[in-house]
Amino acid sequence: MDSAHLGKTAGKDMATEKATWPAVYGIEQSQRDAARLIEEAFAALAPYGSRADGLKAVARYLVERKN
C-alpha cells in the first residue's frame, strides 16, 4: 500500500521495527485471526441484541478499514 492509502509513511512500522500483528504473523493469518475474533465477539454480544449494534459496527470498521 502507498502512503496516501495508509495515512502514514509506507514502511514506517518496519523501519522502526514495530512489532505489528501482520508483521509477526503475516497478512493472511492476521485476517483469519481477525475474522475468528469478530465471530467470537459477536457470539458474546448476542444476548444484548440490537443494543450491541454500535460495538459490532466498530468491530467491523476496524477489521474492514483500509488505513
Query: Rounded distance, CA 51 to CA 58, Å?
Result: 13
What is the total count of domains within the chain? Answer: 1
| Residues 61 and 39: beta-carbon distance below 8 Å | no
pLDDT given for residue 23 in this prediction: 85
Q: In this predicted model, what pLDDT tens digit does every residue of 5-60 receive, in sequence order?
A: 445 455 555 556 678 888 889 889 999 999 999 999 999 999 999 999 999 999 99
pLDDT given for residue 11 in this prediction: 57
Confidence category of residue 1, pLDDT binned at 50, 70, 90: low
CB-count burial class (<10 Å; 0-12, 13-18, 19+) for 66: exposed
Cell reading at 45: 454480544
The parent domain of residue 26 ranges over: 3-64
Kindly report the pTM of this predicted structure. Answer: 0.64
